[in-house]
Amino acid sequence: MKNYLSLVKFSHTIFAMPFALIGFFLGMRAVQHETGHDFLLKFILVIFCMVFARSAAMAFNRYLDRHYDNLNPRTAIREIPSGIISAKNALIFTVVNCLLFIAVTFFINKLCFYLSPIALFVILFYSFTKRFTSLCHLVLGLGLSLAPIGAYIAVTGEFSWLPLMYSFAVIFWVSGFDIIYAMQDVEFDESQKLHSIPVKMGRKNALLFSTLLHVISLAFVTAAGFLGSGGIAFIIGWIIFAGMLFYQHSIVKPNDLRRVNLAFMTANGIASVVFATFVIIDIFLKWRGY
C-alpha cells in the first residue's frame, strides 16, 4: 500500500481536494434541505471519487512515462523504473481505479455518472500531451479544475457559475506552478523531444508566463468572491492565496532552481488548504445567515 501511495504521490492530493470541498459545500448550501445522512453519504462519495480519479491519472502517467523516467536521473528512483512496482501492475491499478470511479458516480446522480467517462478522458489524456504540445500544463490544470465543479454537481445535479469560477482559478493556478516544476527538466525534455513551456520559451520567459497565469488565477478567485458575496473569511483566504503565489515566484529564479520543491509543494499546499479552509468558513457563515 505504501508503494502505491508513493506511486500516485498521494500527498499531492492537497492541491485539488480542498477545491473539491469548496465545490461540495457550495452545493450543500444551494440545497439546504439535505439531511445529515445525505450530507455524510455524499461527502464520502465525493472523497472516493477524488481519490479514485486522481489515483488513476497519476498511475497512468507513471505507466506511460516509465521509459522517460528510467532515463531521467531525477525520476529514475520512481516505483516503476526502480522495479518496486511492475508496469503491468501499475496499469491494472489504473484500470481498477477508473472502474471504481465510474461505479461511485453511479451512486451519486445520473449527471455525474454520464459525465464520468469525459472526466476520465481529460485526466488520462494529459499524460500524452507532453509528446506533442507545450500546452500540456494547461491540460493538467483542466484535469484538476474538474474538482470544484464536479463536487458541486455531485450535490446539486446541475451546473453553476460560482463553482466554475473556482474551476477556472484552478486551471491557471495549477498550470502556473506546473511550469515552475517543469523548469527542472528542460535539458532532458529537449534531448527526448518532449514539449513544455520551459522548453519552448526558456526558463526566464517560462517563469514570466507562469506569473501571468497566476495573475489570471487570482482574478478568477476575486471574481468568485464577488459572485459569492465573500465576507471577511474569504478576504483573509484571498490574501493568503495571493501571498503564497507571490512567495513562490520570489524564491524561484531562472538560474536558481534549488527551491523549486519548496515552491511546488509547500507554497501551493498552503495556498490550497488554508484558502479552502477560509472559503468554507465563509460559506458556513452565509449558510447560517451571518
Domains of the chain: 2-287 (1.10.357.140)
Q: Would you state the pLDDT for residue 7? A: 77
Average pLDDT over the chain, rounded to an integer: 92
What is residue 192's DSSP assignment? T
Asked if residue 278 has pLDDT above 90, the reply is yes
The pLDDT value given to residue 14: 80
C-beta atoms surrounding 2 within 10 Å: 8
Which among 251, 228, 189, 172 has a CA at the least distance from the CA of 22? 228
155 by Cβ neighbours in 10 Å (0-12 / 13-18 / 19+) ranks as buried
C-alpha to C-alpha distance for 102 and 112, rounded to whole angstroms: 9
pLDDT band of residue 6 (cuts 50, 70, 90) is confident
Q: What is the pLDDT of residue 37?
A: 63
Amino acid 66: pLDDT:
95
pTM for this structure? 0.94
Give 69-90 pLDDT, tens digit per residue: 999 999 999 999 999 999 999 9
Question: Is residue 6 exposed (0-12), middle (13-18) or buried (19+ Cβ within 10 Å)?
Answer: middle
Average pLDDT over residues 94-109: 96
The mean per-residue pLDDT over the stretch 213-224 comes to 97
Task: With a cut of 80, say whether residue 33 has pLDDT above it.
Answer: no
Reduced to 3 states (helix: H, G, I; strand: E, B; else coil), residue 134 is: coil
